[in-house]
Structure 1
Amino acid sequence: MANPSISALGFCQRKFDYLIVGGGTAGLVVAARLTEHPDITVGVLEAGPAVFDDPIINVPGRFGESLGTGYDWQFETTPQPGLNGRRIPWNRGRVLGGTSALNFMTWNRGNRQDFDAWEELGNKGWGWDSLLPFFKKTETFDEPSAEHQSLHHTQFESEYHGSNGPIRTVHSKEYSVPHQYWHETLERLSTKTNTSHFSGSNLGAFTTLTSVDPNTRTRCSSATAYYLPNSARKNLVLLTEATVQEINIEKDGRDEWVAKGVKFTHAGEVYAANAGCEVILCAGSVQSPQLLEVSGVGNPSVLAAAGIPLKVCNPNVGENLQDHMMTAMVFEIDRSIIGPDELRADPTLAAAADLTYETSQSGVRAMLPCALSYIPVSQVLSSASIAELARRVSTPRSSLRDRVLAKQFAPGVVRGQVEYLFDVGNWSSYFKSEPGKVYGTMLMMLQLPFSQGSVHIPPRSAAGPPTMQTKPVIDPQYYGGDGGRVDFEVMTTAQKFAAKICSTAPLSNVIRSRVFPPQQGPAADDEDFTDFVRNYTASDWHPVGSCGMGGLAGITAGVVDDRLRVYGVRGLRVVDASIMPLQICAHIQATIYAIGEKGSAMILEDRGVGG
């Protein structure tokens, strides 16, 4: 397979129209779409290596094994008061393809209301109807057979799917044992199967798609889907293991700040590359704001403390950070079930699973967690409780953002604020498995948090100002502030429904006992999950918003405008998850691809070229 072969010096000697910082989920989309036009030359700088043949990345059933390795930036939060002072790992991809090469390959979309809320903030063209063509453009959907639909609840409406996009999306061939009981169990709890969860409402239970090639049953990432097929283009130049240190922002003849290029390091040497038209940041929700700050764009107090000269004052850089919060309840399940834990513990089982996968692209190595359900808070909280939450988060003094977000609690509004997912394996880093036992985990994730945090460069040290090698200060403020207290109340109450799912037949038929947290009593409704939620909430690895679109409020509320241009700097855009002004009710992978597609189209429009 193709690998980038240009030298750092050779890269710098090229004349680029556009320089893309970050060869991740969105960055490689932009690179591929711009270079469809032969007269546009694009350079991509990626800090990680190009890896196309490592099974811990490629093999679906080995999801999670790459976390904490050299393919991971291995970030960590500050101690979180809302989590009793715990630090939380924040895994982000440090490899070509970015987090699309590390994630669990879940492919779904949020609700119409999620994206319409972005437009309500004043971000023109970012509502559901405007985004749907870009969701479809990124995807080639592999339709399941009628038999597969009947057996696994993989219903769909083809009009909402793409048929000619780079990312292959497919349902798994087979599923873990608990999956076959998921839909019937949820149905007994008044949660119906959603037969069209890509059409603007993902409420209910469904079997989700995955970003997996249907022919090879290997991971489909931005590296394999957007880069590899286009790697021979002479106008697409990639340099891996190159860490951008600073955006070169200079004053022009009109006394305006303009992005001219970047400085980067490669093999210990410092280089500079220039961009004739634009620098495009695609470094993600952690490093895009970090790079803006080390380049002089940000909050004056943050930059002053770091010893970085201020160029453009924007206190919103690194703010508005939002993440999906997650808890993991662990159950001992039927010992006849084989999952990833069993393969890791037994080399003979692992070898047999590898052989099955290699010969027929099936078995445990081909399986992914796909049994999901999104439910509204009205299913777990009383009307009076919901009204009280709405009152607490939406006052005349609230920001437009909080008022828009608070509409999820309005009477009659039904959105999937809480996600539930059950699968084989011990997914909790806080519970130690016992040999010989088989586990399953119920994950619960809050989708529309009011908690807002930040990511910033740290203050100057004795060694000097922080650089891109310096770990950023990630403070998600889980359960912090008035809004965070609302999040905590929803999570602790919704946890009871998670316990109820697992005590309901037929799913309960394969469950022996709950081992973490230990069962408090016979009825889930009577349990108090306050300590469990406080002590064991973790990240669901979906950070957004740290370079959010400003909408109607412009630079007073955001970092980029609705065409993703950085306020105050000409020739500089951000195209990644950090531009999302509000979180969505979904895993964010498909949305980041759509952002990459829409961002590319905007860049081409502004250049006067058809998309």
Structure 2
Amino acid sequence: MVLSSYDFVIAGGGTAGLVLARRLSEDANQSVLVVEAGSDQSDNLQAKIPAFYSTLLGGEADWNFASTAQPNLVGRTIQLNQGKGLGGSSIINAQVFAPPTQAIIDSWASLGNDGWNWDSLRDFYDKSYTYPLVPNPKQNNSDQGPIQTSFPLATHPIRKAWAETFERLGYRKADDLWSNGSVGAFSSLASVDPTTWERSQAANCYYDPIKHHENIHVLCNATVEKILFREGSTEAIGLQYHHDSITKSVTARKEVIIAAGALQSPKILELSGIGNRDTLAQHGIDVIKDLPGVGEGLQDHLGVDLGFETEGMETKDAIIRQDPEAVQQAMAEYTTNRTGILTASGILTYAYMPVHTLLSHDGHQRFRTLLEENRPNGGDLEGREHAGALALYGVAEKALLDPAMPSGAYLSFLGQYPIESDPETAERTLKLLPGKHLVLLGMLSHPTSRGSVHIQSSDVFDAPVIDPNYLSNPVDIEVFAEHMLYMQSLASSSPLSELLKQPPKPSHSISHLADLEGAKEYVRVRAVSMWHPAGTCAMLPQEIGGVVDSRLKVYGVKNLRVADSSIVPVLPPGNLQSTVYAVAERAAWLIKSEYGLKSDNI
């Protein structure tokens, strides 16, 4: 039974929201309510079996958002899959549990966020997960966090070939994935339980063990409508939500915490009267706090695939084609022995890489000039917006010019990406390919382009308007194209090349990149979101567009915090999952410290 009042009320039962609920409820004297728009997917086999993550996309467990038409991606709208259900995106992602880099986390502090550096945040990464119990003297196994991780298909030949290829190229990462080293290749850690070989996610790892506790309630299929405020003030006192076709409300005795993700948290703030006053006035919403940074600063990783025909190794191609015999055999192997191709998403290897051409003197000078020419222009931006853009651009610029820092991430996928793109019209059609394929995927790690997400009306059931503004800064397409050319060369590099049909044959006819301009065109036609939106309620000083301070409190509003990917000021170079867990763990620690609540020591 949902009560009328709790100590803490959390909007969003996703990755961050359930971490907060778990940690805050550890003090038995505190009561916690989580309001989640989606349903409980705990019995959904598609959410449990690692290889089936893509079958959830576009379904009940996905918000199924899409961007506005992107002019720099030949006018395409881009699918932005985000989890809708208990556990949020942790129930639909590809289970990649990638480390950040020390330099990028330290940049958070350099932007004005005291206490948010690598030395302080590292412990919260460790607190969230358990490293696989394999012999590794360089890895700290003392911390046993809720999320269970593993190396699925540990003996698959791609792991060895990938490591040896990058080692020959001088880019092998240290055995400790969370060490200070910033560039290099490594085997990809997955949020897959090494005992059950099921997805390990926020709902089954953080919430399930404590869901019987009397001081925590989770309400599913309930849509938050707005934050409630004490009359005539900016003090948050609760939430209004829609459940069972009825509008209801709940009071928070201590705090309201927004944890709805980078595409939904700014929406809740704006619907509640917190945001740019012009945006609010446009939709007839009374202003509680004029905060222009809400919904601005959207950043996301774009990814582009290069597929090659392969032979002699296990892939997901037959599963992707839904060949009945192959699916039946794989299911039998999985259900009987918890082995086989279904234990993995298909992503087994990773690499953080610099722009290779920067290693030459001429290349370095060329990029310096490019960065200077495309620095944010104060003439096009207002003062606060310009200051924030310059600060964030400076972080990206430093990463791009340092050959010891990654500006791209590469990964491999065991199976085809069955989408054909027309090079003239960019029309995309499903084309299932025969045979076996290995996809090399490049990701733009530190985009200099920023976008926005804002409400399109005062109706809570209307999706937000999402404009990532992909590749709007010419620096991004230049860097991305350089990475794609280098990644293409990997197909001819031994021993990775020995896993491919020779000479390397692209899976799709348009995916042979002849030169830099050809690579740029391919990126524009082929790029997709990696589903890592962040930065729309940025943790930054208010004078440069911040929405929350270093304690994650919303500027000018009492008893209100935001704690999810929306506060991330600069994306880490790879997948966002591990960082969202760390942010939520630290947010819980900050709250418990402030109220003197029972807390595990860190």
TM-score for the superposition, normalised by structure 2: 0.91
| Distance in structure 2 (CA, Å) of the matches to 1:126 and 1:428 | 41
The 1:78/1:596 distance shift into structure 2, 3 A limit, reads same
| Distance in structure 2 (CA, Å) of the matches to 1:84 and 1:526 | 18
Pair 1:534 & 2:524 matched: yes
Q: Report the equivalent of 2:77.
A: 87
Instruction: Give 1:127-142 correspondences, 5 Å limit.
Output: 127-142=117-132
Deviation at 1:31, TM superposition (A): 0.3
Pair 1:99 & 2:89 matched: yes
Please report the RMSD computed on the Cα atoms of aligned residues, expressed in angstroms: 2.1
Determine what percentage of the aligned residue pairs are the same residue: 34
Deviation at 1:413, TM superposition (A): 5.3
The 1:174/1:203 distance shift into structure 2, 3 A limit, reads same
Instruction: Give 1:487-526 correspondences, 5 Å limit.
Output: 487-512=476-501, 513-518=505-510, 520=512
SS across alignment from 1:528: helix
Q: Contact between 1:49 and 1:95, CA under 8 Å: does it hold in 2?
A: yes
Q: Contact between 2:87 and 2:203, CA under 8 Å: does it hold in 1?
A: yes
The counterpart of 1:236, out of the listed 216, 223, 243, is: 216
Deviation at 1:586, TM superposition (A): 2.0
Q: Contact between 1:328 and 1:428, CA under 8 Å: does it hold in 2?
A: no
1:275 aligned partner, one-letter code? A
Q: Contact between 2:371 and 2:475, CA under 8 Å: does it hold in 1?
A: no
Deviation at 1:466, TM superposition (A): 2.6
Q: Report the equivalent of 1:385.
A: 366
Q: Which moved more, 1:401-410 or 1:84-93?
A: 401-410
| Distance in structure 2 (CA, Å) of the matches to 1:283 and 1:156 | 38
Deviations 1:536-556 (A, max 9, x none): 1111110100000123xx254
2:138 aligned partner, one-letter code? E
Q: Contact between 1:175 and 1:367, CA under 8 Å: does it hold in 2?
A: no
1:383 aligned partner, one-letter code? H
Q: Report the equivalent of 1:476.
A: 468
| Distance in structure 1 (CA, Å) of the matches to 2:234 and 2:69 | 37
Q: Contact between 1:136 and 1:162, CA under 8 Å: does it hold in 2?
A: no
1:74 aligned partner, one-letter code? N
Q: Contact between 2:296 and 2:535, CA under 8 Å: does it hold in 1?
A: yes
Q: Contact between 1:371 and 1:422, CA under 8 Å: does it hold in 2?
A: yes
Q: Contact between 1:456 and 1:472, CA under 8 Å: does it hold in 2?
A: yes
Q: Which moved more, 1:47-56 or 1:32-41?
A: 47-56
The 1:474/1:517 distance shift into structure 2, 3 A limit, reads farther
Pair 1:371 & 2:362 matched: no
1:446 aligned partner, one-letter code? L
Deviations 1:187-216 (A, max 9, x none): 333322432221233411100211111110
| Distance in structure 2 (CA, Å) of the matches to 1:594 and 1:277 | 23
Deviation at 1:351, TM superposition (A): 1.2
The counterpart of 1:588, out of the listed 543, 554, 576, is: 576
Q: Report the equivalent of 1:158.
A: 139
The 1:235/1:137 distance shift into structure 2, 3 A limit, reads same
1:136 aligned partner, one-letter code? D
Q: Which moved more, 1:412-421 or 1:129-138?
A: 412-421
2:353 aligned partner, one-letter code? I
Deviations 1:242-285 (A, max 9, x none): 11011112346xxx401111111112111111111111000000
| Distance in structure 1 (CA, Å) of the matches to 2:142 and 2:517 | 45
* Structure 2: stretches of 5+ with no match in the other structure: 379-386, 422-429
SS across alignment from 1:515: coil
Q: Report the equivalent of 1:221.
A: 201
SS across alignment from 2:20: helix
The counterpart of 1:347, out of the listed 317, 320, 324, is: 324
The 1:430/1:124 distance shift into structure 2, 3 A limit, reads farther
Q: Contact between 1:138 and 1:167, CA under 8 Å: does it hold in 2?
A: yes
The 1:560/1:52 distance shift into structure 2, 3 A limit, reads same
| Distance in structure 1 (CA, Å) of the matches to 2:276 and 2:377 | 27
Deviation at 1:63, TM superposition (A): 2.5
2:96 aligned partner, one-letter code? T
| Distance in structure 1 (CA, Å) of the matches to 2:557 and 2:516 | 56
The 1:197/1:335 distance shift into structure 2, 3 A limit, reads closer
Q: Report the equivalent of 1:298.
A: 275
1:494 aligned partner, one-letter code? H
Deviation at 1:343, TM superposition (A): 5.8
Q: Report the equivalent of 1:451.
A: 449
SS across alignment from 1:178: helix
The counterpart of 1:565, out of the listed 553, 568, 572, is: 553
Q: Which moved more, 1:339-348 or 1:558-567?
A: 339-348
The counterpart of 2:391, out of the listed 387, 391, 400, is: 400
Q: Report the equivalent of 1:182.
A: 162
Instruction: Give 1:246-325 correspondences, 5 Å limit.
Output: 246-251=226-231, 256-325=233-302
Q: Contact between 1:178 and 1:423, CA under 8 Å: does it hold in 2?
A: no
Deviations 1:369-396 (A, max 9, x none): 1211111124566222232234235589
Pair 1:467 & 2:444 matched: no
1:452 aligned partner, one-letter code? R
Deviations 1:462-487 (A, max 9, x none): xxx4322101100000011xxx2100
SS across alignment from 1:72: coil
| Distance in structure 1 (CA, Å) of the matches to 2:376 and 2:200 | 45
Q: Contact between 1:194 and 1:203, CA under 8 Å: does it hold in 2?
A: no
SS across alignment from 2:393: helix
SS across alignment from 1:546: coil
Pair 1:436 & 2:430 matched: no
Q: Contact between 2:548 and 2:562, CA under 8 Å: does it hold in 1?
A: yes
| Distance in structure 1 (CA, Å) of the matches to 2:216 and 2:490 | 50
Deviation at 1:341, TM superposition (A): 4.0
Deviation at 1:434, TM superposition (A): 4.3
Deviation at 1:440, TM superposition (A): 2.1
* Structure 1: stretches of 5+ with no match in the other structure: 1-5, 146-154, 459-464
Deviations 1:429-473 (A, max 9, x none): 345444532222111001111010000001xxxxxx432210110
Deviations 1:402-424 (A, max 9, x none): 223322244x5521110111222
Q: Report the equivalent of 1:334.
A: 311
Q: Contact between 1:23 and 1:96, CA under 8 Å: does it hold in 2?
A: yes
| Distance in structure 2 (CA, Å) of the matches to 1:328 and 1:187 | 22
Q: Report the equivalent of 2:382.
A: none
| Distance in structure 1 (CA, Å) of the matches to 2:417 and 2:123 | 35
Q: Contact between 2:223 and 2:243, CA under 8 Å: does it hold in 1?
A: yes
Q: Contact between 1:324 and 1:539, CA under 8 Å: does it hold in 2?
A: yes
1:591 aligned partner, one-letter code? T
Q: Contact between 1:424 and 1:441, CA under 8 Å: does it hold in 2?
A: yes
The 1:575/1:162 distance shift into structure 2, 3 A limit, reads farther
Deviation at 1:610, TM superposition (A): 4.6
Deviation at 1:17, TM superposition (A): 0.5
Deviation at 1:179, TM superposition (A): 3.3
The 1:343/1:485 distance shift into structure 2, 3 A limit, reads closer
The 1:285/1:396 distance shift into structure 2, 3 A limit, reads closer
Q: Contact between 1:115 and 1:584, CA under 8 Å: does it hold in 2?
A: yes
Deviations 1:335-390 (A, max 9, x none): 76442544643111111111111122110111231211111124566222232234
Q: Report the equivalent of 1:114.
A: 104
Q: Contact between 2:230 and 2:237, CA under 8 Å: does it hold in 1?
A: yes
2:210 aligned partner, one-letter code? N
1:502 aligned partner, one-letter code? A
Deviation at 1:77, TM superposition (A): 0.2
The 1:605/1:508 distance shift into structure 2, 3 A limit, reads same
Q: Contact between 2:506 and 2:512, CA under 8 Å: does it hold in 1?
A: no
2:301 aligned partner, one-letter code? H
| Distance in structure 1 (CA, Å) of the matches to 2:588 and 2:432 | 50
